[in-house]
Structures are given as C-alpha cells and as structure tokens.
Amino acid sequence: MRVIKATELGFCMGVRRAVDMMEDAAGELGPITSLGSTVHNPQVVDRLRDRGVEVIATIEAIDERPVAITAHGVGPKVLDELRTRGARIVDTTCPIVTRAQQWAKKLTDEGFGVIVFGDPNHKEVRGILGWSNGKVVTMKSADDLDAPLPDWMPSRVGVLSQTTETEGHFAAFVQKLLTTHMERISELRVINTLCNATSSQQAATHDLAQGVDLMIVVGGRESANTRHLAEVAREQGVETYHVESAGEIEAAWLAGRDSVGVAAGASTPDAVIDEVVERLYALAPA
Ligand code: SF4
C-alpha cells in the first residue's frame, strides 16, 4: 500500500508565524495568555501550554500576564477593552486576516454595505464583523441569498469571504448574488479575501483525492479549514476520514486499498502528520 502526502499540507504561514510569535513572547516576557485557542489543534495547544502560553476563554479571565491575539484576529472593541484594562498585547493576527479586516472597515467607511460569505460563529468572521461599522451581514451559503437583502443594505455592496472558503463556493455565491439581487445593487465590489495557503491546500487535496482509494484528512475537528479539506476530498467521490491524531486510524479502513492519500489542515503540526503516515504504514495490510 502506498501512502501519498498532498503536495501542500499542514501549518500555513499564518499559523507558523502566530505560534512562533507566542513562543518568542513567552520566552522574552515570561508566561503569557492567549485570548482563545491559538489554533484549532489540541496538540499545538498542549505544546504552547508547556512553553508558557495559557489559553483563556474570555477577556474577563485576563490577569497581569501579556495577552496574545490569535491568528484569527479580533474586532476593535476587543482591542480597546484590552487597552482599557492595561493589558500588554501580543498581536499575532495573520496578515491575510488583517487585510480582510481592513477591507471591511474601508468599504463601510466609504458607504458600502458588506456581505461576509462565511460562518458567523467562526472567530475570524466575528473579528471581521467587528471592523464593519455595523453595516454588515454574514451569509453561510448561497441559499441565504434566496431571502431579500436586508432593508438597511445600501445599493453599493461589498463582498468579502472568510479566508478559508473554497474558490468554487465563493465564486458561485457572488454569481448568485448578481443574478438574484441585481435590482438592489448599483455598485458591487468583490474583494478576494481567500487565503492562497488554503486554496493551494484545497487544490492539492482535490488532485490527490482523484488518484487514491482512501483519503485521511488530519486536523482539529473544530478547524474550519480542515473540515473544508475533508469536504473537498469527499466531493471527489473517495472515502474520506477526518482524524485529529494517528491513534484514531483503524486497520479496517485500509483493507483492500492500494493507495491512501494524506491531507492536513493549516493548523496541523508536522509531527502529527508524520505520526499519521507512520501509523498508516504500520497498519498497512501485508
Ligand atoms: S489559513 Fe491563511 S489566512 Fe488563515 S492563518 Fe493560515 S495563512 Fe492566515
């Protein structure tokens, strides 16, 4: 049985940068806290804890330790609140997320209403909403466009996407917006806020899934990016399992397979991917 890794997988630039910044800050300043989970991966969270970075769930839990903003970013109100409380801030927001936040602010400052294509409960999206001056609506799927646009939506409309969405879904969403709501729109600005790291991982997963008998997608269950990769693999018609760690892989999954593809979300560390590959070889039918 062959095990083939996707050509693009694992930690993206933004996550590597955030983890490095937090570890460096804890090394220089002593123990720090992280406002929310640094990345959606339990192994990374454990490793950071060992190195002096403790995750706190809410702003009320801050103490005298410096506070790191995660790669997903936060809205301006959270930053103001931290400053008011005198917190020392270590901002590890991914530059690609910062760009989406800046566009949300710029568009709404210029009088556009903004539609964010993404999951309103995702931390990155909540942060982007915070920069939108209240003139924003989120839509999770193109089906949300079956309803009328909100009454307050001006005729100048800006569209952004959660960075981890797929190119295909975002393009289909924008196309449907135009075909179903053209009469409400005098000007449409579509900002491509998709992350290349995400789309290259999706493309690599897509290509790999077409040539193997089974796909294993590795990453935290809470990771939107990893879940999207599993979706992309399944859309190619190949049986796909989403696992957080090597220990979840069952020998029965491998029976009769000649080739197994491995993809991994942007928050999955290299060590976890290596363990998955090792376990697949160890369990491979003789
Ligand atoms: S997936 Fe892209 S946008 Fe998200 S943290 Fe990584 S590099 Fe940044």
pLDDT along the chain (286 residues), means of 10: 96 91 96 87 86 94 96 96 96 97 98 97 95 96 97 98 90 97 97 90 96 96 90 97 96 96 92 96 88
**10 Å Cβ neighbour count for 128?**
30
Nearest residue CA, atom 6 of ligand 1? 14
- Measured CA to CA, the distance from residue 90 to residue 87 in angstroms comes to 9
Mutate-to-test residue for ligand 1 from 12, 101, 123, highest number of ligand atoms within 8 A of CB: 12
Is the predicted ipTM greater than 0.90, yes or no? yes
CB of 3 closer than 6 angstroms to any ligand 1 atom: no
- pLDDT score for 257: 95
Q: How far is CA 145 from CA 37, 139, 149, in A?
A: 32, 8, 7
Ligand 1 mean position, distance from CA 30 (Å): 27
Domains and their CATH numbers in the chain:
2-10+197-283 (3.40.1010.20), 13-93 (3.40.50.11270), 96-190 (3.40.1010.20)
3-state class of 55 per DSSP?
Answer: strand
Q: Which two tokens stand for residue 44?
A: 């990374």
The minimum-distance atom of ligand 1 relative to the CA of 18 is: 5
Look at the alpha carbons of 168, 170, 174, 180 in this order and tell me if their dihedral is positive or negative.
positive
Ligand 1 mean position, distance from CA 56 (Å): 22
- Measured CA to CA, the distance from residue 115 to residue 180 in angstroms comes to 15
Q: Which two tokens stand for residue 265?
A: 């979300």
| Contact of 283 with 249, CB cutoff 8 Å | yes
Q: Which two tokens stand for residue 207?
A: 């290509």
Ligand 1 mean position, distance from CA 262 (Å): 20
The minimum-distance atom of ligand 1 relative to the CA of 163 is: 3
The minimum-distance atom of ligand 1 relative to the CA of 95 is: 8
Amino acid (1-letter code) at residue 213: D
- pLDDT score for 224: 83
Ligand 1 mean position, distance from CA 167 (Å): 15
Look at the alpha carbons of 44, 45, 47, 51 in this order and tell me if their dihedral is positive or negative.
positive
Mutate-to-test residue for ligand 1 from 8, 9, 22, 163, highest number of ligand atoms within 8 A of CB: 163
Strands (E), 118-181: 136-139, 156-161
CB of 97 closer than 6 angstroms to any ligand 1 atom: yes
Q: Please, where are the H alpha helices in 196-241?
A: 196-209, 224-235
**10 Å Cβ neighbour count for 274?**
13
CB of 12 closer than 6 angstroms to any ligand 1 atom: yes
| Contact of 142 with 181, CB cutoff 8 Å | no
- pLDDT score for 150: 97
Q: Which residues are catalytic?
A: 124
- pLDDT score for 74: 97
3-state class of 67 per DSSP?
Answer: strand
| Contact of 38 with 55, CB cutoff 8 Å | yes
Ligand 1 mean position, distance from CA 22 (Å): 16
Bridge-based pairing state of the strands 214-218 and 239-243: parallel
- pLDDT score for 42: 77
Ligand 1 mean position, distance from CA 15 (Å): 7
Nearest residue CA, atom 8 of ligand 1? 14
- pLDDT score for 199: 82
Sole residue written with tokens 């103001």: 80
**Burial group, residue 121, by CB count within 10 angstroms (0-12, 13-18, 19+):** exposed
Sole residue written with tokens 């991914």: 94
Nearest residue CA, atom 2 of ligand 1? 195
| Contact of 75 with 131, CB cutoff 8 Å | yes
Contacts of 135 by beta carbon, 8 Å cutoff, 6+ apart? 108, 112, 113, 114, 152, 154
3-state class of 64 per DSSP?
Answer: coil
